[in-house]
Amino acid sequence: MSVVEAIILGIIQGLTEFLPVSSSGHLELAQALFGNQNNAEGNLLFTIVVHGATALATLAVFRADLWSIVRGLFQFTNNESAQFSLRIVLSMIPAALVGYFFEDTISSQFFGNTLLVGLMLWITAGLLYIADKPTQNRANLSLSNAWWIGIAQAFAILPGISRSGATIAISLLLGVARDRAARFSFLMVVPLIFGSMAKKILDGGLEQEVLSISPLLAGFVAAFFSGYLGCRWMIALVKRSQLRYFAYYCALVGTIALVTSLL
């Protein structure tokens, strides 16, 4: 992998992690275009690096919120920070279970499968289109809502299902206020990203020498800064009810992926 390819993939990861267009799906398509499908270990290492960069970008954007959540975890009073922390933990359970037991199987079965990516992007498009209604979302984030949002996040393990798109769409369909939906969607994934990275590293399946430091560093920097901008941009877009444009985009890219896979 060249430095230029790493920067392109890093930007794709950074933007699509927060924009509702599926980061995993776009990385699969981009790696297919670059001809990197056969270099599984190198792709795995690079994926861990750029996912770590986007997680750090989330920490940078929500640093004040995260500090409040950390304090809430160590408080036993019924305050807002403690309640929000509890909802974060609850939402992590479905995705954590699916990731722990099925992530390796799904990755091995669907790696480089542009047909599946295309189909899942169409599902993402449908969710975004349905959820983007001009309604007044004012509901609080209940424990029940947090659980169903977590279920949506678990399905995002499939390449082409946008994690942020699925979680935000389900939040809006449940009536959660738009600013709360975006904030919760981005914060709930941070522990899972670091947990997934730790699992892959502890499994010992990485070959550090597959990729040199230059493309890894370039991809990390590109993913961090594009992720930071993408996160702030997405918060503003959710508040302005503009998800339908991403639905059109996902449908277009999904169609291209389907046509490409059938040629």
Is 60 exceeded by the pLDDT of residue 77? no
**Predicted TM-score (pTM) of this structure:** 0.79
Reported in sequence order, the residue ranges of the chain that DSSP labels E, i.e. its strands, are none
Cβ-based burial of 140 (10 A; exposed 0-12, middle 13-18, buried ≥19): exposed
How much is the pLDDT for 38? 43
Q: What is the mean pLDDT of the chain?
A: 80
The pLDDT tens digits for 7-16 are: 888 888 888 7
- The structure tokens 């699916």 sit at 98
Contacts of 178 (CB under 8 A, 6+ apart): 137, 172, 238, 239, 241
Is 50 exceeded by the pLDDT of residue 191? yes
The pLDDT tens digits for 6-49 are: 888 888 888 877 888 776 666 666 666 666 554 444 567 777 88
Query: Structure tokens of 67?
Result: 């500090």
The pLDDT tens digits for 125-184 are: 999 888 887 666 666 788 889 999 999 999 888 888 888 889 989 998 888 888 888 888
Euclidean distance between the first and the last CA atom of the chain, given in angstroms as a whole number: 26
How much is the pLDDT for 41? 44
How much is the pLDDT for 126? 92
The pLDDT tens digits for 87-137 are: 888 998 998 888 778 777 776 666 667 788 888 889 999 998 888 876 666
